[in-house]
Amino acid sequence: MRKKLIAGNWKMNGLTHDGISLAKDLANLYKASDNPIFDMFIAPPFTLLSNVLEVVKESGVWVGAQDCSMYDAGAHTGDVSPIMLKDLGCGGVIVGHSERRADHGETNEIVKAKAEAALKAGLGVIICVGETLRERETGKTLNVVKEQLQKSIPTETTAGRVVIAYEPVWAIGTGKTPTKNDVQEVHASMRHVLADVVGAEIAQNIRLLYGGSVKPNNAKDLLTLPDVDGALVGGASLKVNDFWAIAQAVM
Ligand code: PGA
């Protein structure tokens, strides 16, 4: 049984006061829900990690960053290493988000190096993949996602520490989502590809999230697909009621 994972990517949003209060509200809801059947992860901006870690501690909510360096330390101005994140108390990190691939030229090879560095530091990783609109329209989705997976999955992948998020670039922040059939098709195909790369058992147990315009009104449809094990939520993760409603859709 793969336990569902509801992950919130706050992106470059949140100042101290609002960020702390959002994290606190979520932590209280999660703690109060008796033995939740889903894991909850939130990725605030670097500037809020320390505050958020403090307010969610002992709630069971898992906190991590939205990116990390592939290096452990040294002359890399502006970067944050996975060892630093671990030292702070983070449990994980998102790598390869399409906004990083687009804004910072991150290739599959870079994503893989970051994921490997994060695992080495003792963090869990959420690795993002997904096609552009042009790739979708020209029928290349499955091949694009396959190549991204083959090239960005760490050699040491285990089902416990690695999560994959399928996020079609054209669905992020647009209010558009693929059909249920399209999502299930990509997720089933990803499991197939993963079986070749990391073996059948890990492929069967690894969690595959869907991300891209997940909202309370479409969460149930997406989260009950057989190969969808949770959601990576952007915009709706900034509103406690919306994010919590999405999480409730796994019930
Ligand atoms: P969105 O973002 O939910 O705002 O579409 C998802 C993501 O980028 O992870």
pTM here is 0.97
44: exposed, middle or buried (Cβ count in 10 Å: 0-12, 13-18, 19+): buried
Q: Which of 99, 106, 135, 167 is catalytic?
A: 167
The protein residue whose alpha carbon is closest to atom 6 in ligand 1 is: 234
Place of tokens 């992106």: 11
pLDDT given for residue 251 in this prediction = 80
> Of the residues 97, 116, 131, 135, which is catalytic?
97
The token duo for 16 is: 């101290």
Any catalytic annotation for residue 97?
yes
φ, ψ dihedrals at 185, nearest 5°: -60, -45
Handedness of CA 159, 234, 96, 223 (dihedral sign): positive
**Residue 190 tokens, joined:** 């990803």
State in Å: Cα 169 to ligand 1 middle. 9
* Whole-number Cα distances in Å, 50 to 18, 28, 59, 63, 168: 14, 18, 15, 10, 31
Structural domains in the chain? 4-248 (3.20.20.70)
Is 104 among the residues known to form the active site?
A: no
Residue type present at position 23: A
Task: List, for residues 143-185, the tens digit of each pLDDT value.
Answer: 999 999 999 999 899 999 999 999 999 999 999 999 999 999 9
The per-residue pLDDT for 36 is 86
Q: At what angle do helices 180-198 and 216-223 cross, to 10 degrees?
A: 50
Who lines ligand 1 at CB under 6 A? 9, 167, 172-173, 211-214, 232-236
Which is nearest to 159 in space by CA: 189, 127, 185? 127
| Distance of alpha carbon 172 from alpha carbon 170, whole angstroms | 6
Q: What single DSSP character describes residue 211?
A: E
Question: pLDDT tens digit string along 114-153?
Answer: 999 999 999 999 999 999 999 999 999 999 999 999 999 9
Cα of 154 from ligand 1 centre, angstroms: 24
Residue 39 CA to ligand 1 center (angstroms) comes to 18
**Which residue puts its alpha carbon closest to atom 1 of ligand 1?**
234
Q: Which atom of ligand 1 is nearest to the CA of 173?
A: 5
**Helix (H), strand (E) at residue 101:** helix 98-103
Sign of CA dihedral 234, 235, 236, 239: positive
Residues lower than pLDDT 70 in the chain: none
Closest CA to 232 of 151, 155, 177: 177
154-181 in b/e burial notation, b at 16+ Cβ within 10 A? beebebebbbbbbbbbbbbeeeebbeee
d(CA 5, CA 2): 9
Instruction: Report CA dihedral (156, 119, 148, 207) to the nearest 10 degrees.
Output: 90
